[in-house]
Structures are given as C-alpha cells and as structure tokens.
Amino acid sequence: MIPWLADDSLEFPPLEHALTDPDGLLAAGGDLSKPRLLNAYRNGIFPWYNPGEPILWWSPDPRCVLYPQDLYLSRSMRKRLRKSDYTVTFDRAFAHVVAACAAPRRKQEGTWISEDIFKAYLNLHRSGIAHSVEVWMDQQLVGGLYGLGIGKVFFGESMFSRQRDCSKIAFAWLTAQLQYWGYELIDCQVYNDHLASLGATEIPRKVFAQELARLRDLPNEHDWAFSISREDLTGDTP
C-alpha cells in the first residue's frame, strides 16, 4: 500500500519506500502546485497518471539518464543535423509543444498529459523553470520536447516528431547546448530504445539521488537561447 500525500505538507516518503511492482510507485494524491512539483523533481520524483486517476508519484529504480558528454550521434544523424532545412529554438512555442506531445500517437490509446498537467507545466514555464525546444521547417512546428531546468540538471518530460528524426534533432541540440552551459545530467526517467540510441543509460536510483543532491542547487542563470552552431554539434570544422 502506498501512502496518500497530506494536503498540508509537501513532503514525500523516502525513495527507498517506492514499490518494485509497479516499479517506482511512491505515493498518491497531493496536487500539482509549483512548490510540490519542485520538491518532487529536486528529490528524484515525478508525476505520471492517467486522466481521471489520482495523481501518482514515481521514482523508478534504475533511472534512465544521459550524461551530456555521452550523447551519441550516428553517422546518418550527423548528416541529418548538417542540413539547413530546419531551425531550432528555445521557448518560442511552449504550449504548442506540450499540446503536440499530448496528441494521440499510433498504437497508443489516449494520453497522460491531461489538462491539469498542461496547466501545471505552463505555470512552471511562466516561472522560468520549464522549457521547450522547437524544431521548425518552412515556419511549421515539426518536432520538439519539453522539460525542467533545475540547477545543472535537465528533467526531460516528453517529445514529439511530425517529420522523421525531428525529436532526435531537438534532443541533440538541447544536449549540446546544455553541455556548453555546464549541465552534467539529463533525466530521461524510464529507459526506451529511442533514448538509448542517443546515449542514454541506466543508473541505480541511489546514485541518481546522490547526483541530484550535488547538482540541484548549482546556478543556471543564462538566457534560454541557442549559442552553439551546427559545427559545434556535429564536430565539423567551419
């Protein structure tokens, strides 16, 4: 039995109290207020639940992460990134990116990104905590992702692609820019082949929590705008 969060407290149970089946389920209830969400992410916890269900809070073990310096770009991906048929931006269309991530996908029924989730993360975006990456072609939004920047950690939430490889383009540019800014960790939450193909790996939850404790209070005062070039990303000489 998992605990129900008290309305008058932002505290979560210790991570080691999370269930192993389903993996990482830690608590239920509470709300999606900015203070509670920040406390959750700072301690390695995130919300994930279906519309109509109570809010469920998770901290899986192991944890899927990517160290920015370990970003892997295949030869074909580097070739794709060199093309000039796209542009990449930060925070130009946050609400549209979240809406696109919430849209139905093939072989998937419904979405976990409910109206409450949408409003909560839009509030974090307006507070300068949640950010989006957009990929544009012919002035059309064709791919992107969103997540939270806390200290020197970026917590990825979701990504989408309307054209081939566009979510990978967004992730590659984000990772390279975060490395330039001195970020040391990208939280990918749960392993999948898509992320693994870009260099993501799994680490024990205990190690992840230790990394968070070290990185979450480091300064990240910078403008969320790309300052790297295609040459920086692909390793080419101008």
pLDDT tens, residue by residue, 160-210: 999 999 999 999 999 999 999 999 999 999 999 989 999 999 999 999 999
Q: Which residues does residue 47 pair with via DSSP β-bridges, in sequence order? A: 57
The domain that holds 70 is classified in CATH as 3.40.630.70
| 132 & 50 share domain | no
Task: Say whether both 49 and 8 belong to one domain.
Answer: yes
Rg (CA), the chain: 18
Mean pLDDT of 1-14: 94
- What pLDDT score was predicted for residue 111? 65
Cβ pair 71, 186 in contact under 8 A: no
pLDDT in tens, 88-99: 999 999 999 999
Residue 30 and residue 142 share a domain: no
Domain boundary among 43, 60, 77: 60
Question: What is the C-alpha to C-alpha distance for residues 172 and 203, in angstroms, rounded to an integer?
Answer: 21
Domain endpoint, select from 60, 75, 102: 60
pLDDT at 149 over 70: yes
Query: Among 37, 60, 83, which residue terminates a domain?
Result: 60
Indicate whether 139 and 165 sit together in one domain: yes
CA-nearest of 160, 166, 168, 180 to 229 is: 180
Is 100 in the same domain as 213?
Answer: yes
Conformational region of residue 166, where left means phi above 0, alpha means psi within -120 to 50, and beta covers everything else:
alpha
Residue 71: phi and psi, rounded to 5, are -55, 125
pLDDT at position 154 is: 98
Given a cut of 50, is residue 110 above it in pLDDT?
no
Say how far apart CA 123 and CA 116 lie, in whole Å. 11
Q: Are residues 127 and 207 in the same domain?
A: yes
- Split into its structural domains, the chain has a count of 2
Considering the domain architecture, whether residues 109 and 206 belong to the same structural domain is answered as: yes
Cβ atoms of 97 and 160 closer than 8 Å: yes
Q: For residues 120 and 29, what is the distance between their CA atoms, to the nearest angstrom?
A: 15
| Comparison of pLDDT for 129 and 52, the residue scoring more | 129
* Band of pLDDT at residue 237, cut at 50, 70 and 90: low
Instruction: Please indicate, yes or no, whether residues 112 and 23 belong to a single structural domain of this protein.
Output: no
pLDDT tens string 126-145: 999 999 999 999 999 999 99
Q: What is the pLDDT of residue 107?
A: 54
Instruction: Take residue 29 and report the two structure tokens written for it.
Output: 């209830």
Check pLDDT > 70 for residue 114. Answer: yes
Range of the domain at 24: 4-60
What rounded mean pLDDT belongs to the chain? 94
